[in-house]
């Protein structure tokens, strides 16, 4: 076992999109996430890595309040100068600001148009023309517009797995969120589809703050600017990706990156 | 014996059993159809039983009761199914409710009928009526309808809910706009199949909807008139009850013919329900997925 008392958290001095202060997650009586304070720089990709059960996904899902029903969340999450871990907050509005993408592509079994417009139309009235334009824009951002020949009436389930995942990515972009939370978005995809998603993410980071959980260390190294290493429900190390992968501060991080456990 | 021959033998056996079952059903239905066919005529379907052989009013009563029953039971079943499969999933309450539903579904229908008789007909003084019958049939129909709607909802992947919620849509709107439309084909076939069961039910109705079919006036739209076809408080003998009554009382020279003819109509209607269920759900499925 490793000594979890020592952590190394080197947050950059940049504009922040999202910060957590002593965020904790409790399932019944077990503490799944120990007090976790982290800073996520704006318009950067931060990768969350660590062995299975280390709390990285749990942490991620708290950030747009997807854990509310299954766990007790303590501490603060500060986004736009407000603590969003507040029962009184309108979580529906929040989720339009902080989008999420999951491991398995999960489009609705309906047309591409329905998939894209559903969430947005729940929150705002938008003219048909603007809607059409927005759909074209987000589909172009994930390189789907051309692949689909602009046909929005096709059923989303007819697309390939990789296309479905990119459609889901486009779907979260419809509301123009500020932050994207990605929970192993490419782990169910083939290498070519994975490469496409990664290329999309690198494009998107110009305008979006991206936090991605991944088990694929090469992926973290390829696309992220910062990396957070989780172990046993604790944030152990946070550093610039280049630094963390070449010369981690903690022996535990080094061992994990070298494949000694995980 | 080598395994290829074992496999061949097993397969042969299974086909034989299936064939035997199909043959049995075909003989059974065929026999009933042949027996009753000669009774069926246009006047059999369009005249009242007071005037002779006709089953016009019984046929209408069966349909009317069915519609009322579905109107009463569908909203309750849909609500319970949503509560059990989505909101209360894996909760203690859901486990208890599911047990209750299973118990209710294995309750003999004569018990439901007698319960309806005591509670609705006597205690609430509704009398032998369409309404008493519809409420009793609702008790009879609820468990199976709830189960089939739950099943239809459960076939929709949970990922749809996660997707909706992560887009900032409320659970309720995700249910009404994504999950229920996707569950629709399964729900429709569940409704139509349960309609077949309701349509053929007799025991639950004998002491609730009653055993008499007063002659109805199909042009009287005033639901408070005793002879109005829409009056929910008049007694209403259905096809299945009619068969039972004609056979137990055996009155008149034509009793046997009437009974056999009614059986044919009942079977054909239920078969039609089954075919309709398949067609509808297939068509809806195609419409949704393509």
The CATH class that applies to domain A8-107+169-257 reads: alpha beta
In the block, residue with structure tokens 């013919």 = B257
Q: What are the tens digits of pLDDT across the range B29-50?
A: 999 999 998 888 888 888 887 7
Contact criterion met (CB < 8 Å) for A109 and B165: no
| Chain A hits for B164, Cβ within 8 Å | 108, 118-119
Tokens of B73: 């039971």
pLDDT at position A1: 66
| Rg value, chain A, Cα | 18
| DSSP code for A155 | B
Highest mean pLDDT among A64-68, A236-240, B53-57: A236-240
**What is the token pair recorded at B203?**
């025991």
Report yes or no: A197 and A166 within 8 Å, Cβ to Cβ.
yes
Q: What does the DSSP assignment read for A70-111?
A: TSEEEEEEEETTEE---TTS-HHHHHHHEEEE-SS----SSB
Roughly how many angstroms between the first and final C-alpha of chain A, as a whole number?
13
Q: What is the pLDDT of residues A48-66, one digit of tens each?
A: 999 998 999 999 999 999 9
**Average pLDDT for residues B138-159, to the nearest whole number?**
94
Which residues on adjacent β-strands are paired with residue A228? Answer: A48, A238
Q: Is A70 near chain B, with CB under 8 Å?
A: no
Burial zone of B99 (CB within 10 Å; 0-12 exposed, 13-18 middle, 19+ buried): exposed
**What's the pLDDT at A69?**
84
The ipTM (two decimal places) reads 0.89
Q: Which residue reads 């992560």 in tokens?
A: B166
The residues on B that touch A, with CB distances below 8 Å, are 157, 159-160, 162-170, 173, 177-178, 181-182, 288-290
Residue A193 makes CB contacts below 8 A (sequence gap 6+) with: A160, A161, A162, A163, A165, A186
Give the integer Cα–Cα distance in Å for B281 and B189.
6
Binary contact (B165, A122; C-beta < 8 A): no
Q: Does A93 touch chain B (CB under 8 A)?
A: yes
Indicate the helix (H) or strand (E) that contains B16.
helix B3-37
What angle, 0 to 180 degrees and rounded to 10, lies between the N-to-C axes of helices A112-123 and A161-173? 20
Answer CATH for B38-289 from 1.10.3720.10, 1.10.260.40, 2.40.340.10, 1.20.1730.10? 1.10.3720.10
Domain range summary for chain B, segments of one domain joined by +:
38-289
Domain layout of chain A by residue ranges: 8-107+169-257
Of A84, A81, B127, the C-alpha closest to A73 is: A84
């Amino acid at each position: 076992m490793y000594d979890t008392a020592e952590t190394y958290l080197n947050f950059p001095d940049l504009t922040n999109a999202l910060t957590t202060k002593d965020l904790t997650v409790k399932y019944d009586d077990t503490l799944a996430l120990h007090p976790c304070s982290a800073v996520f720089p704006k318009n950067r990709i931060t990768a969350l890595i660590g062995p299975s059960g280390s709390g990285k996904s749990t942490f991620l899902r708290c950030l747009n309040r997807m854990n509310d029903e299954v766990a007790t969340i303590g501490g603060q999450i500060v986004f736009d100068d407000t603590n969003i871990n507040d029962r009184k907050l309108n979580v529906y509005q929040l989720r339009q600001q902080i989008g999420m993408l999951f491991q398995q592509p999960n489009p609705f079994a309906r047309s591409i148009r329905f998939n894209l417009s559903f969430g947005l139309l729940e929150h705002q009235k938008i003219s048909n023309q603007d809607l059409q334009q927005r759909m074209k824009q987000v589909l172009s951002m994930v390189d789907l517009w051309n692949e689909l020949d602009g046909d929005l009436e096709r059923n989303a389930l007819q697309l390939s797995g990789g296309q479905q995942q990119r459609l889901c990515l486009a779907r979260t972009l419809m509301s123009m969120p500020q932050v994207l939370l990605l929970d192993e978005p490419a782990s169910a995809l083939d290498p070519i589809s994975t490469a496409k998603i990664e290329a999309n993410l690198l494009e998107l980071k110009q305008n979006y703050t991206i936090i991605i959980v991944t088990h694929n260390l090469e992926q973290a190294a390829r696309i992220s600017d910062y990396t957070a290493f989780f172990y046993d429900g604790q944030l152990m190390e946070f550093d610039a990706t280049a630094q963390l992968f070449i010369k981690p501060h903690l022996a535990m991080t080094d061992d994990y990156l070298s494949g000694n456990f995980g | 014996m080598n395994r290829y021959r074992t496999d061949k033998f097993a397969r042969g056996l299974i086909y034989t059993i299936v064939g035997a079952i199909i043959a049995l059903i075909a003989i059974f239905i065929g026999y009933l159809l042949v027996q009753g066919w000669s009774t069926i005529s246009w006047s059999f379907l369009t005249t009242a039983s007071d005037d002779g052989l006709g089953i016009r009013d019984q046929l209408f009563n069966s349909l009317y009761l069915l519609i009322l029953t579905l109107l009463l039971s569908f909203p309750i079943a849909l609500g319970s199914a949503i509560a059990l499969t989505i909101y209360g999933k894996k909760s203690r309450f859901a486990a208890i409710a599911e047990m209750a539903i299973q118990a209710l579904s294995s309750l003999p229908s004569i018990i439901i009928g007698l319960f309806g008789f005591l509670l609705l007909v006597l205690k609430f003084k509704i009398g032998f009526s369409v309404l008493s019958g519809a409420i009793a049939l609702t008790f009879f129909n609820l468990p199976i309808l709830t189960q089939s709607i739950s099943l239809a909802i459960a076939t929709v992947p949970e990922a749809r809910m996660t997707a909706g919620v992560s887009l900032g849509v409320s659970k309720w709107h995700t249910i009404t706009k994504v999950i229920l439309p996707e569950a629709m084909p399964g729900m429709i076939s569940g409704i139509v199949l349960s309609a077949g069961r309701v349509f053929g039910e007799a025991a639950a109705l004998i002491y609730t909807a009653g055993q008499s079919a007063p002659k109805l006036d199909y042009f009287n739209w005033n639901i408070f008139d005793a002879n109005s076809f829409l009056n929910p408080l008049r007694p209403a003998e259905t096809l299945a009850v009619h068969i039972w009554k004609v056979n137990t009382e055996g009155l008149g020279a034509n009793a046997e013919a009437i009974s056999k003819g009614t059986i044919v109509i009942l079977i054909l209607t239920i078969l039609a329900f089954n075919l309709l269920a398949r067609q509808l759900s297939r068509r809806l499925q195609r419409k949704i997925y393509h």
